[in-house]
Structure 1
Amino acid sequence: MLKKPESDEYAPYYEKYVSSIPEGDLLQILDEQMKETMNLVKDLNEDQAHFRYAPEKWTVKEVIGHITDTERIMSYRLLCIGRGEMAKLPGYDDNQYVKNGKFNHFSIGELSAQLSQVRQNTIALLKSLDDEALLRRGNANGTGVTARAIAYIIAGHELHHRTLIKDRYMGAESFGGAHE
């Protein structure tokens, strides 16, 4: 079982993500999370998928695209650090990625399928890393981080955005139809 990382294994910014994940089998948590996210968005119509809870905020589609892109990037970091990469891994501008991703041109089904596939790949990657690899430390976006911390950041990031979808998007009066 993959134990939670210590606070010195990641930048303080990521504490909100790491601390949101309960103790337990992280592989099972990642799998269950994806099922919950897929269930949350599977019945959205196009109007709901294009909903923004405030001006300049992302649409639901853009949030799903952002979760997917971030997991791709974090999984790459997980692979690099787990394999012993010593080069500093770059950061990224999530707003630029969302803008250039043009996620609103895809159906919510297409975006959900991409996210599900990326999550399956993340789980497969995690299964391939032994304890030694998971404890390796590297540098991503200018800060030290371990591979296992990245695994928890992936889970916490997805949970954070799923919660936002439920609370700020689906919880808005103007969302367009009841979705429990």
Structure 2
Amino acid sequence: MTEALATQLSQIIETALKDFESISEEQWNTKPAPEKWSKKEILGHLADSAINNIHRFVRIPQGDQTNIWYDQNYWVKASDYEHQDLESIKSLWQSLNLQIVRVWKKTWDADLQKTIPVKDETPTLQFLMEDYIDHLNHHLRQIF
């Protein structure tokens, strides 16, 4: 199970990196509305998501029950993705997701039903892994 998810994530990374090249700098920087994120900020948000989820993917198998939650809007503003170099954001996103692939490949199927508190819920590791891919695909559709 974890190997299949890792392979799926690897394919998403590879395809997205190729498809990113078809997006102009103007398209990356344009906000659909003043309060909405640009494509560049969405990619930064996906890097933030990876940062926070790596903690979950490593902590759950070891039995750590630390509640890991983050304010996504605050993180995007704090990281100032709007003014960062696009190639740096792409590189960060790629590196973090490749690390998730490595972690998933080392995750035992027996750990998939372990849980961790996230806000007011207690999802399983399997749910979080599948949800991570769904979340990633959702935002990549916004970019493309």
Give 2:68's aligned residue.
90
Give 1:11's aligned residue.
none
Q: Is residue 2:121 matched to residue 1:146?
A: no
Structure 1, 128-137 or 65-74: larger mean CA deviation = 128-137
Q: Is residue 2:71 matched to residue 1:60?
A: no
- For 1:52, what is the secondary structure of its paired residue? coil
- For 1:25, what is the secondary structure of its paired residue? helix
Q: Is residue 2:55 matched to residue 1:76?
A: yes
Instruction: Identify unmatched segments of 5+ residues in structure 2.
Output: none
Structure with higher helix content = 2
- The amino acid that maps onto 1:133 is D
Given that 1:50 and 1:60 are in contact with CA atoms closer than 8 Å, whether structure 2 keeps it comes out as yes
Q: Deviations over 1:88-117 (max 9, x none)?
A: x13211111111110122222111111110
Give 2:114's aligned residue.
136
For residues 94 and 65 of structure 2, the distance between their equivalents in structure 1, rounded to whole angstroms, comes to 30
For residues 164 and 97 of structure 1, the distance between their equivalents in structure 2, rounded to whole angstroms, comes to 19
Give 1:158's aligned residue.
136
Structure with higher strand content = 1
Given that 2:40 and 2:86 are in contact with CA atoms closer than 8 Å, whether structure 1 keeps it comes out as yes
Based on CA coordinates, which of the two structures has the bigger radius of gyration?
Answer: 1
Give 1:14's aligned residue.
none
Q: 1:86, CA displacement in angstroms?
A: 2.6
Q: 1:51, CA displacement in angstroms?
A: 0.9
Among the aligned pairs, what percent are the same residue? 22
Give 1:8's aligned residue.
none
Q: 1:43, CA displacement in angstroms?
A: 4.1
Structure 1, 24-33 or 51-60: larger mean CA deviation = 24-33
Pairing partner for 1:50 from 18, 22, 29: 29
- For 2:35, what is the secondary structure of its paired residue? coil
Pairwise CA RMSD of aligned residues?
1.6
What's the TM-score, normalizing by structure 1? 0.74
Given that 2:116 and 2:123 are in contact with CA atoms closer than 8 Å, whether structure 1 keeps it comes out as yes
Q: How does 1:118-129 map to 2 (within 5 A)?
A: 118-129=96-107
Given that 2:52 and 2:68 are in contact with CA atoms closer than 8 Å, whether structure 1 keeps it comes out as no
